[in-house]
Structure 1
Amino acid sequence: MSFSNEPVVNVANATIFQDHATVLSEIDFQITKGEFVYLVGRTGSGKSSLLKTLYGDLPLRLGDITVVGHGIRDIKSSEIPFLRRKIGIIFQAFELFYDRSVAENLFFVMKATGWKDKAKMKSRLAEVLMRVGLGAVSSKMPHQLSGGEQQRVVIARALINEPQILFADEPTGNLDPEVSEGIMKLFLEINKSGTAVVMATHNHHFIEQFPARVLKCENGKIKDSSKEEFELTGIY
């Protein structure tokens, strides 16, 4: 699909810390509206720390980052919910409430992000569950679903507020290959509708089968396949 030149993420001379350790230094890149980007690198190379910084879970101390119009450096805790309404976050560990039904999990997010009209909430719930292929599971408990179905619930939760960008941290890491491919195709469908996707992955097969731009965390830097050629070795 064609992209606009409007960046939904702009990273300028940023240094990423985990606790007191520097994991990535002086990094620069942009992600434009509707773009699909793989984030790769060895375990401990900075992928998760970068994602956490982008969605406001880790403080940015050096450099500048803007995500969907929000400056991340020194962002106030009171401003983070407004950022989160414009983005979607998907974890490898599903992080669902296992004592609540699928519907209750999604309603929790809606209420936390300002939804009040119950009729609109029910309509949106049905819409996002249909979109991820789970139209008949709203009353089920998470433990009644397979791992792949639980991850689809997490994706539905991330789509509630029609985000401009999805950040997915190893979303298929706990799933078998066949289920993983179904989840990957779902991300591609979401991306085709205009939502940017940044997916951290170790799955070399995905990158070969579904080529897209790659950002590689290596030796404390970010290498960008749109600017330089590099081998996809060392991503495990």
Structure 2
Amino acid sequence: MFTSEPVVVIQSAFIYQNERIVLNDVNFSINKGEFVFLIGRTGSGKSSLLKTLYADLWLQQGKAKVAGFTIETMKAAERPFLRRKIGVVFQDFQLFMDRNVQENLMWVLEATGWTDSARMKARVAEVLMQVGMSTSRDKMPHQLSGGEQQRVVIARALLNEPQILFADEPTGNLDPEVSGQIIELFHEINKAGTAILMATHDFDMIRKFPARILKCENGYVKEQPQV
């Protein structure tokens, strides 16, 4: 059933890193298909906020709903079901270095409940084509450049047709030219209907691809005017 409900809603939330509050009284929502930048200095709480939204950090205080899942009451056994509805793109890739590209992606499908081998291989081929990596299926991660590895990571995040991608400094380890290509890829994915919340400190990118901006500053998250 189609619903116009936002894909992310967070209300009166306090974000903790260990025992320390890093963000106070966080309130915002993200609609389906929206592109949002999350900016702020290193240590301002961007990563902790993202980790809370994809249920890697426990939401101790406040409410959040992501892709229809209630985060503050989520049990560990429910996390895999949330992960089928969202995608996460990390700065440091987190690929299995002892498996080729296809095996890395097949592992994710197995972990999220896929069982039909032919369908799984077809889905892997689809997402690799989507990110421009269809000829690299049999390569090992060490045979790929940083930009190519990040494309594989994005393909991995797209496997289950997520409602939203959470991207944590996805161009942080890439040179400017490759960064631009990766951001263009995110915009293509967004145009196809996937919402994106991207943490970044790359202001050139924000100027080139204007979108809604949330800023973590002095322990709060505030809406910012577009650059």
Compute the TM-score of the two structures, normalised by the length of structure 1. 0.94
Q: Please show how residues 198-217 of structure 1 align to structure 2 within 5 Å.
A: 198-217=197-216
* Superposed structure 1 runs of 4+ greater than 2 Å apart: none
Structure-2 residue corresponding to 1:76: 75
Following superposition, the deviation at residue 74 of structure 1 comes to 2.8
Tell me which residue corresponds to 2:182. Answer: 183
- 5 Å-filtered alignment, 1:126-205, equals 126-205=125-204
Give the RMSD, CA atoms, in angstroms.
1.1
| Distance (whole Å) between structure 1 residues aligned to residue 82 and residue 142 of structure 2 | 30
- Contact persistence 1:59–1:74 (CA under 8 A): no
Q: Deviations over 1:14-54 (max 9, x none)?
A: 00000000000111000000000000001100000000000
Correspondence 1:221 to 2:184: no
Partners of 1:164 and 1:207 in 2: CA distance: 22
Name stretches of at least 5 consecutive residues in structure 2 with no aligned partner: none
Aligned 8 A contact 1:39 1:216 in 2: yes
Cα offsets for 1:181-225 (capped at 9, x unmatched): 000000000000000000000100011111000000011111113
Q: What TM-score comes out, normalization by structure 2 length? A: 0.97
Q: Which amino acid aligns with 2:156?
A: R
Letter in structure 2 aligned against 1:85: R
Partner of 1:98: 97
Aligned length: 225
Check the 8 A contact 1:14/1:25 in 2, yes or no. Answer: yes
- Once residues 170 and 5 of structure 2 are traced to their aligned partners in structure 1, the CA distance between those partners, rounded to angstroms, is 26
| Per-residue CA distance 1:94-133 (angstroms, 9 max, x = gap) | 0000000000000000000001001101110110000000
Shift of the alpha carbon at 1:177? 0.4
**1:62-95, CA deviations, whole angstroms, 9 ceiling, x for partnerless residues?**
1100000000003100000000000000000000
Name the structure 1 match of 2:59: 60
Asked if residue 112 in structure 1 is aligned to residue 111 in structure 2, the reply is yes
Q: Which letter maps to 2:109? A: M
2:5 aligned partner: 6
Structure 1 position 6, deviation (Å): 2.5
